């Protein structure tokens, strides 16, 4: 029988050789502990404010294995997030993915909640043979998240009232997240997102995609070989058949970084000069380049005396611990459902004020790139489908996964967050950083042990 004590987790990681036991992905007790120690405590991405633009609008989202009701109140217009579970017997109070509602009524016993989550009615509340007016509705509101943050249009929450502020939680990646919420003209919170969510369900452990997608250039040579060889990328011939959009970057140095204290990481670009490089054409649909060229010129003016953050100018994606991956054009969340089942939810942003032809072009692009019949993302799913079942056997469990690419080559910098390690731009530094934070979260009993961010590094494994 495998040990279940939390201190046994370190024995499943070979820090010297950079390998990870498959048990971290296949043990039920570890999965249950992750829901308590990680998904109940961390700041988690819920969505974007444009999913619920009008009073009474709602959308269902998730925090770990739990379903969450995101709703904009009819009176004060504020967005709030609640556990989608009636306080009476636990039935879902909302069973629609999205919509607009005056109230949310549980179909079991008619407990009814308004858009602030307050209990406003229940079957039998005044009946002399039932509650007889004794039900104190103020005490039975929906369970609301402990902390909620609207960060330049992106919505985040945690169940833990003792968690640090969202900005502190992001640490050196706060400006990168802010940048990825800008419109193409450089204005803060300049995006809206396409509805509905794009969703995939995969038979694998959530860490397979959520951890190994934190900057993994080596997978592209074979995984995406068919796209590159056939030259049928989403931008078609205008980008030479490549699977990505055309880019034009200023002089820079690129890294893979991992914050071993906070768990975030991914692509990092140090730009050597201020400004924004000139726009390059790349859109197939007529008129779309004209729009983006005009917006790009506005962005150049805004950034003429500023150096872009590390994520600037479509430089690559970053990962926010534990399960969120963010690019300037797509946001991906990995929701665990059970030990061997994860759902990938994606949102795609477009300028709020863009004309219809531009919004249609962007929507078609993301469908061609990321959709179930698209050019690229389905390749990744094919791999992830088989990792988990191929790791379940008694023999397979004896052989560790390899996360040693670039091990020992990373360097810290005095001008940066103390846990941030810079490595070559094709390494797995960001993967290892996620496991450093994973161990810390799984071992620590309280946030006092986790923040400020482990200056003594007593939870670190690398």
Cα-flanking dihedrals φ and ψ of residue 297, to 5°?
A: -65, -35
Q: Please name which of 119, 121, 122 lies closest in space to residue 109, comparing C-alpha atoms.
A: 122
Check residue 453 and give its pLDDT: 59
Instruction: Return the C-alpha torsion angle 87, 89, 95, 99, nearest 10.
Output: -20
Taking only the tens place, the pLDDT of each residue in 192-235 is: 999 999 998 999 999 999 998 777 878 877 888 777 777 666 66
Check residue 312 and give its pLDDT: 84
Cβ atoms 53, 156 nearer than 8 A: no
Q: Which CATH number fits domain 45-149: 2.102.10.10, 2.60.120.10, 3.60.10.10, 1.10.10.10?
A: 2.102.10.10
Check residue 329 and give its pLDDT: 86
How far, in Å, CA of 52 to CA of 42, rounded? 23
Q: Which residues of the chain have pLDDT under 70?
A: 1-7, 231-236, 239, 453-459
Return the CATH superfamily for domain 1-43+163-462: Naphthalene 1,2-dioxygenase Alpha Subunit; Chain A, domain 1 (3.90.380.10)
Beta bridge partners of 253: 270
What token pair was written down for 85?
A: 């579970």
**Three-state SS annotation for the chain:** CCCCCHHHHHHHEECCCCEECCHHHHCHHHHHHHHHHHHCCCCEEEEEHHHCCCCCEEEEEEECCEEEEEEECCCCCCEEEEECCCCCCCCCCCCCCEEECCCEECCCCCCEECCCCCEEECCCCCCCCCCCCCCCHHHCCCCECCEEEEECCEEEEECCCCCCCHHHHHHHHHHHHHHCCCCCCCCCCCEEECCCCEEEEECCCCHHHHHHCCCCHHHHHHHCHHHHHHCCCCCHHHHCCCCCCCCCCCCEEEEEEEECCCCCEEEEEEECCCCCCCCCCCCCCCCHHHHHHHHHHHHHHHCCCCCCCCCCCCCCCEEECCCEEECCCCEEEEEEEECCEEEEEEECEEECCCCHHHHHHHHHHHHHHHCCCCCCHHHHHHHHHHHCHHHCCCCHHHCCEECCCCCCCCECCCCCCCCEEEECCCCCHHHHHHHHHHHHHHHCCCHHHCCCCCCCCCCCCC
Q: Report in angstroms the alpha-carbon separations of 36 from 5, 20, 462.
A: 14, 22, 24
Check residue 457 and give its pLDDT: 57
Break the chain into its structural domains and give their ranges. 1-43+163-462, 45-149
How far, in Å, CA of 422 to CA of 261, rounded? 13
Those residues whose C-beta lies under 8 Å from the C-beta of residue 432, and which sit 6 or more positions away, are 18, 258, 260, 403, 407, 461, 462
Tell me if domain 1-43+163-462 and domain 45-149 are identical in fold. Answer: no
Those residues whose C-beta lies under 8 Å from the C-beta of residue 361, and which sit 6 or more positions away, are 283, 284, 285, 288
Taking only the tens place, the pLDDT of each residue in 40-86 is: 999 999 999 999 999 999 999 999 999 999 999 999 999 999 999 99
Cβ atoms 205, 20 nearer than 8 A: no
What token pair was written down for 460?
A: 């670190």
Cβ atoms 374, 381 nearer than 8 A: no
How far, in Å, CA of 127 to CA of 267, rounded? 62
What token pair was written down for 455?
A: 């200056």
Cβ atoms 41, 147 nearer than 8 A: no
Check residue 194 and give its pLDDT: 96
Q: pTM higher than 0.85, yes or no?
A: yes
Cβ atoms 157, 149 nearer than 8 A: yes
């Amino acid at each position: 029988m495998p040990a279940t004590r939390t201190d046994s987790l370190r024995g499943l990681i070979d820090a010297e050789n950079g390998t990870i036991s498959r048990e971290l992905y296949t043990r039920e007790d570890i999965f249950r502990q992750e829901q308590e120690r990680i998904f109940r405590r961390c700041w988690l991405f819920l969505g974007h404010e444009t999913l619920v633009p009008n009073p009474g609008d709602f959308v269902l989202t998730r925090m770990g294995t739990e379903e969450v009701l995101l709703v904009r109140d009819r009176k004060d217009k504020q967005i709030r997030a609640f556990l989608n579970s009636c306080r009476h017997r636990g039935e879902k109070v909302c069973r629609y993915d999205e919509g607009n509602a005056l109230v949310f009524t549980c179909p079991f016993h008619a407990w009814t909640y308004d858009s602030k989550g307050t209990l406003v009615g229940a079957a039998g509340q005044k009946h002399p043979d039932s509650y007889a007016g004794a039900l104190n509705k103020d005490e039975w509101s929906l369970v609301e998240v402990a902390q909620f943050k609207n960060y330049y249009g992106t919505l985040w929450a945690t169940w833990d009232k003792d968690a640090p502020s969202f900005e502190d939680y992001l640490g050196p990646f706060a400006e990168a997240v802010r940048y990825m919420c800008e419109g193409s003209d450089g204005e803060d919170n300049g995006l809206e997102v396409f509805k509905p969510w794009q969703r995939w369900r995969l038979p694998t452990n959530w860490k397979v995609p959520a951890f190994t997608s934190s900057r993994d250039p080596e997978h592209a040579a074979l995984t995406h070989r068919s796209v590159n060889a056939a030259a049928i990328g989403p931008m078609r011939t205008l980008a030479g058949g490549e699977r990505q959009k055309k880019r034009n970057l200023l002089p820079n140095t690129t890294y893979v970084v991992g914050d071993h204290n906070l768990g975030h990481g991914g692509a990092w670009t140090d730009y050597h000069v201020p400004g924004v490089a000139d726009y390059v054409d790349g859109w197939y649909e007529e008129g779309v380049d004209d729009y983006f060229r005009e917006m790009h010129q506005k962005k150049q003016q805004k950034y003429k005396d500023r150096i872009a953050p590390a994520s600037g100018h479509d430089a690559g994606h970053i990962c926010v611990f534990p399960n969120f991956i963010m690019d300037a054009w797509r946001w991906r969340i990995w929701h665990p459902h059970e030990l061997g089942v994860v759902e990938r939810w994606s949102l795609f942003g477009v300028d709020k004020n863009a004309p219809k032809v531009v919004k249609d072009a962007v929507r078609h692009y993301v469908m061609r790139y990321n959709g179930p019949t698209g050019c690229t993302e389905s390749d990744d799913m094919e791999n992830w489908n088989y990792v988990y079942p191929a790791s379940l056997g008694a023999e397979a469990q004896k052989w560790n996964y390899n996360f040693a690419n670039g091990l020992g080559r990373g360097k810290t910098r005095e001008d940066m967050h103390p846990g941030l390690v810079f490595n070559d731009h094709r390494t797995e530094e960001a993967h290892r950083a996620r496991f450093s934070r994973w161990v810390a979260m799984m071992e620590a009993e309280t946030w006092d042990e986790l923040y400020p961010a482990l200056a003594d590094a007593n939870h670190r494994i690398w």
